[in-house]
Every structure is written in structure tokens, then in C-alpha cells.
């Protein structure tokens, strides 16, 4: 990966880790699914005018948006609503081992022994982390966050072929256009009183929605799909995944005042070790991509 792509990839965890954590206070005004609907609607309204309709790809983009955006963000951010952001930002690192699993079953990419060990280590870390006192009685939130991570990994397997055919920002725009209204409609069914939430939301919570919709979404996923288009996944993942935990933890501690426990640090460290074992493993398919 050249210096330009490395720099672009490094922006992803900074914006994403920070945005993931600061979304939590906005749940006081917006239910998680509604906030995600606003996020993608904002992103689409900013980007959609700059790109032509990707004819021939709309069905594939719609299906990808259902999995990678609508379903995944509904589940992940609902999970975040029930647990501390410091724990959630570590639990979402299970996206990487889930990604290896889905790549094997869907793309026939056979994982190495090292990657399999990494998967086992990562889930041992999850087991230790979930024993943290601040997660006691929060099994529902933990489960949703982990399921959301698995769905994210599935979504990226679906999106990756599209990232090679469509301009990265155009892909972000069209994925957001399909998922934004769907998420708002879903929230209106599940949460009801959508108009009330929108009209009574606090100003600072609208600023959070503005950030994650107009800034974080276009920057992070535009950068991610751009780098993914030009580089094999094993070169991109280390930069993206390793940067999110420190960014998210620092934001949770200093902005939200959370106090991570010893179990969280130990479990989180073990998860990251497992992820490192996975992302620094090359398989024969990826070698061909270089």
C-alpha cells in the first residue's frame, strides 16, 4: 500500500471510532434506528447529486444496503444503546473473525491455521470482556452488538465486488439513499412518534446527527471503499481495525466519562491480539491480488 492510500485508510478509524462513541448521547433524543435513518438520509442528500444512476447495479446495491446498512446498523446501534460505548467499541472488533468465516463460506477463501487461532483467541477475549461488572445483566445489548458485527462482516463480503465497479463515494451515496428512508420507516413502526422525536430533539443531539451523517459517513466509507478498491483486504484491515479501539476508548473515557474495568481492558486486549493474528495473515488469493 502506498503512502497516499495508507494516509487515507488511517482517516477511517479516527472518524469512525469517534463517531461510534458520540452517537450514544444522541439516543436521549433519537431512538437508535431513527438516528441511523437520519445519518444515511443526510449522507445521501449530500452526495447523491454528484453521481449518475449506476444502471445495472441498482438491485445489487439495494440488496447490499439491506444487509450492510439497514439490518446491520439497526442491530449494532440498538446494542450500543444498552451497553457502555467503551465495551461496544471492543466488541465490534469481532467483525474481523466473522469476516474470515463468511469469506470462507461465500468466497471459498480458506483461512490459514494462524487465522483460525486468531478467531479462537478473539472469542476468548469476548468471553472475558463480557464478564466485566459494567456489563452485568446486559446480555441483550452484548448479543445485539456481536450479531451486528457478524452482519457487518457479511455486508462487506457483499459490498466488496461492487467497490471494484462503482466510484467509492457513489457507492456510499446509493447505499445511503436506499437505507436512509427504510431505517426511518422501520423506526416509525418500532418506535412510533417519529415526528415527536424529530421536533423535540436537543440541539447538541442534532449536531451529532449532522456529524455522523454529513461528515463521518461520507469521509469514512468513501475512504474505506476507495482504499479497498485499490488494495487487498489484508492490507487495509490492519490500519482500519487497529485504529478504532484506541480512538473509541479515548472518546468514551474523556467525552462520556466512562470508566472501563479491568476485565474490559484484558478482554479487549485479547480480542485485539486475535484480530492481529487474523489481519496479518495472508492467503494465496490475497497474494494474487497484490
Question: Could you report the per-residue pLDDT of 4-49, keeping only the tens digit for each?
Answer: 888 888 888 888 888 889 999 999 999 999 999 999 999 999 999 9
In this predicted structure, what is the pLDDT of residue 289?
41
Question: Could you report the per-residue pLDDT of 172-207, keeping only the tens digit for each?
Answer: 899 999 999 999 999 999 998 899 999 999 999 999
| 150 compared with 285, residue with greater pLDDT | 150
Average pLDDT, the chain: 86
Grid cell for residue 150: 457478524
Closest CA to 240 of 227, 251, 249: 227
In this predicted structure, what is the pLDDT of residue 233?
64
3-state SS of the chain is CCHHHHHHHHHHHHHHHHHHHHHHHHCCCCCHHHHHHHHHHHHHHHHHHHCCCCCCCHHHHHHHHHHHHHHHHHHHHHHHHHCCHHHHHHHHHHHHHHHHHHHHHHHCCCCCHHHHHHHHHHHHHHHHHCCCHHHCCCHHHHHHHHHHHHHHHHHHHHHHHHHCCCCHHHHHHHHHHHHHHHHHHHHHHHCCCHHHHHHHCCHHHHHHHHHHHHHHHHHHHHHHHHHHHHCCHHHHHHHHHHHHHHHHHHHHHHHCCCCCCHHHHHHHHHHHHHHHHHHCCCCHHHHHHC
Of 38-47, 88-97, 100-109, 275-284, which one has max mean pLDDT? 38-47
What is this structure's pTM?
Answer: 0.86
pLDDT at 236 over 80: no
Amino acid at each position: 500500500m502506498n503512502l497516499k492510500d495508507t494516509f487515507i485508510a488511517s482517516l477511517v478509524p479516527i472518524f469512525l471510532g469517534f463517531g461510534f462513541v458520540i452517537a450514544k448521547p444522541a439516543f436521549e433524543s433519537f431512538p437508535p434506528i431513527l438516528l441511523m435513518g437520519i445519518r444515511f438520509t443526510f449522507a445521501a442528500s449530500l452526495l447523491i447529486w454528484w453521481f449518475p444512476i449506476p444502471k445495472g447495479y441498482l438491485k445489487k446495491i439495494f440488496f447490499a444496503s439491506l444487509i450492510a446498512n439497514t439490518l446491520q446498523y439497526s442491530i449494532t446501534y440498538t446494542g450500543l444503546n444498552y451497553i457502555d460505548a467503551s465495551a461496544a467499541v471492543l466488541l465490534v472488533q469481532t467483525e474481523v473473525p466473522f469476516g474470515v468465516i463468511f469469506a470462507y463460506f461465500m468466497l471459498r477463501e480458506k483461512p490459514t491455521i494462524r487465522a483460525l487461532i486468531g478467531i479462537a483467541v478473539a472469542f476468548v477475549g469476548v468471553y472475558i470482556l463480557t464478564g466485566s461488572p459494567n456489563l452485568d445483566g446486559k446480555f441483550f445489548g452484548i448479543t445485539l452488538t456481536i450479531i451486528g458485527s457478524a452482519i457487518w462482516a457479511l455486508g462487506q463480503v457483499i459490498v466488496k465486488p461492487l467497490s471494484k465497479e462503482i466510484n467509492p463515494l457513489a457507492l456510499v451515496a446509493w447505499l445511503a439513499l436506499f437505507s436512509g428512508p427504510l431505517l426511518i420507516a422501520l423506526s416509525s413502526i418500532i418506535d412510533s412518534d417519529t415526528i415527536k422525536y424529530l421536533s423535540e430533539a436537543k440541539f447538541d443531539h442534532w449536531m451529532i446527527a449532522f456529524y455522523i451523517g454529513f461528515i463521518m459517513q461520507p469521509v469514512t466509507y468513501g475512504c474505506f471503499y476507495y482504499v479497498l478498491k485499490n488494495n487487498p483486504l489484508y492490507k487495509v484491515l490492519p490500519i482500519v481495525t487497529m485504529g478504532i479501539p484506541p480512538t473509541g476508548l479515548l472518546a468514551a473515557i474523556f467525552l462520556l466519562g466512562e470508566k472501563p474495568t479491568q476485565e474490559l481492558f484484558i478482554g479487549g486486549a485479547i480480542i485485539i491480539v486475535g484480530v492481529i493474528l487474523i489481519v496479518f495473515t495472508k492467503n494465496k488469493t490475497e497474494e494474487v491480488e497484490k
